[in-house]
Chain A
């Protein structure tokens, strides 16, 4: 990096968000730099998925306070699709099915929208097909699935592999993976995690939201944060994940119980 400085990618300050009357995020602070992997852990209902959704721009949540800077811009002013085109990718916990829209068509539109935003020409059919082939190999995604409707009739494992395939196609700067490991058997977990690791470069960053330490055996984080009741209450290095696996969250969250 220039001047030996890592590029600051994401800066979240005092972020508050609610759904209806319910306050879910109560002052999140988080800094992510290029090349880093952050893991966000925490018990159910602590706000992990909400944080991911708010960063992606989900209209279900209202930001009530705080600010988010992404690549030097005010992220909260950008539409969902603008965020995506600027390289923010969300791997969904529950990928949706889109009947009648093939994976190939879906990805072709998405990739070309991103290229358009970057001032690039759309890919030719041959270039696109080559890209599909290369990227589907990264997650060992059956190439037949790309001819099928998006996620329709995909198994749980295939849906999650498909998220990482889309990530590979879109080459994001910042990937937020929301419980990509949930519901995966050990083989699928290895494939998904290996895929994520192969996509890692010094220029991009990954935020992994997970319940379990096991994913972090494959995707080694630089930082581990514990989210509880809408705040990051503790941050540490990768050894924190192992400690949480052994000892649970009680030693951390006792002070925060109501």
Chain B
């Protein structure tokens, strides 16, 4: 099932943005299919789930504000070429968890501003670029006040003649003491593809725990040999290896049944490698 079929079969009404408060039905995910620009304000203490899915090309700007204590899970799927800018403002003790999968020539840039103490931000994303696609994830995690934490894992695969790009910035403002910011980026480059990885840290506070890392690797010849020695042909061995590589991040999507659909879409995309 594709995500569009799922939305149709469940007769889910597209979310138009605006204020989300205790009168909003948040027992199901709020779904935005092929967004134009929209704004969303989550009022104090709200727990909600948001789905953004692009199944046809869009250019959009998404702005989300989390008031104090809001807990928001976002799942994003880019299955058609799109340019999307996502800006999130997080107030005190709010918790944002993002899972994003790019499976087409899209450019998605995130600005996550941690503006209230004790805000937490988890970000898990992957891109799978094949053919002649160019996919870009930009992530700007901004620690503006003390005592916030962020944890990001971005995995990318580029195959064929594709380009996969990750531009990451962790910014820690001068008085954002006791910031805990972790950002990891792992990529695999196959065939004649290209990976561009630009991880950056800008730290102006002195009492912080920050780490970041970025790697670009290739197929592991030893792993392929091992699998082939067990009777698995070279093409399947390669696919298993790259699927295994993204598994860590794919497993972090935890909004069922949507994540099942996302996993299926990722797996379909992988078969093009």
Contacts and interface: CB of A to CB of B under 8 A. Distances in A.
Bound pair: A and B? Answer: yes
Interface of A: 56-59, 79-81, 83-85, 89-90, 92, 95-96, 98-101, 105-106, 109-110, 113-114, 117, 149, 166, 170
B226 A81 contact: no
B234 A98 contact: no
B241 to A, nearest CB: 7
A80 to B, nearest CB: 4
B227 A170 contact: no
16 contacts: A57-B229, A58-B225, A80-B225, A81-B231, A96-B223, A98-B244, A99-B244, A99-B245, A101-B243, A105-B240, A106-B227, A106-B230, A109-B232, A117-B231, A170-B230, A170-B231
Interface residues of B, number: 23
B10 interface: no
A84 to B, nearest CB: 4
A101 B243 CA distance: 8
Contacts of B244: 98-101, 149
Interface of B: 220-223, 225-234, 236, 240-241, 243-248
Given A99-B245, A149-B244, A84 B236 contact: no
A98 B227 contact: yes
A95 B240 CA distance: 17
Contacts of A90: 229
A98 B223 contact: yes
Contact of B232 (A92, A100, A113, A149): A113
Contacts of A81: 228-229, 231-234
B232 A110 contact: yes
A110 B226 CA distance: 11
Contact of B243 (A85, A89, A100): A100
Given A83-B229, A109-B236, 12 more contacts: A81-B229, A81-B231, A84-B228, A84-B230, A98-B227, A98-B244, A100-B247, A101-B240, A106-B227, A109-B232, A110-B227, A110-B230
Contacts of B247: 99-101
B226 A96 contact: yes
Nearest to A90: B229
Interface SS majority for chain B: helix
Contacts of B230: 84, 106, 110, 166, 170
Contacts of A58: 225
Contact of B248 (A89, A100, A106): A100
- Most chain A CB within 10 A, of B221, B228, B248, is at B228
B95 to A, nearest CB: 27
Nearest to B250: A100
A132 to B, nearest CB: 15
Nearest to B220: A96
A59 to B, nearest CB: 7
Contacts of A99: 244-245, 247-248
B241 A98 contact: yes
A80 B234 CA distance: 9
A106 B104 CA distance: 29
Contacts of A101: 240-241, 243-244, 247
B231 A113 contact: yes
A90 B228 CA distance: 11
A84 B223 contact: no
Contacts of A98: 223, 226-227, 240-241, 244
Nearest to B222: A96
A97 to B, nearest CB: 8
Contacts of B246: 100
Question: Considering the complex of A and B, which 10 residue pairs feature the smallest CB-CB distances, nearest first?
Answer: A100-B244, A100-B247, A84-B231, A80-B228, A101-B244, A110-B230, A113-B231, A85-B231, A81-B228, A96-B226
Nearest to A89: B229
B203 to A, nearest CB: 30
Given A84-B228, A110-B232, A100 B222 contact: no
A48 B234 CA distance: 26
A100 B245 contact: yes
Contacts of A83: 229
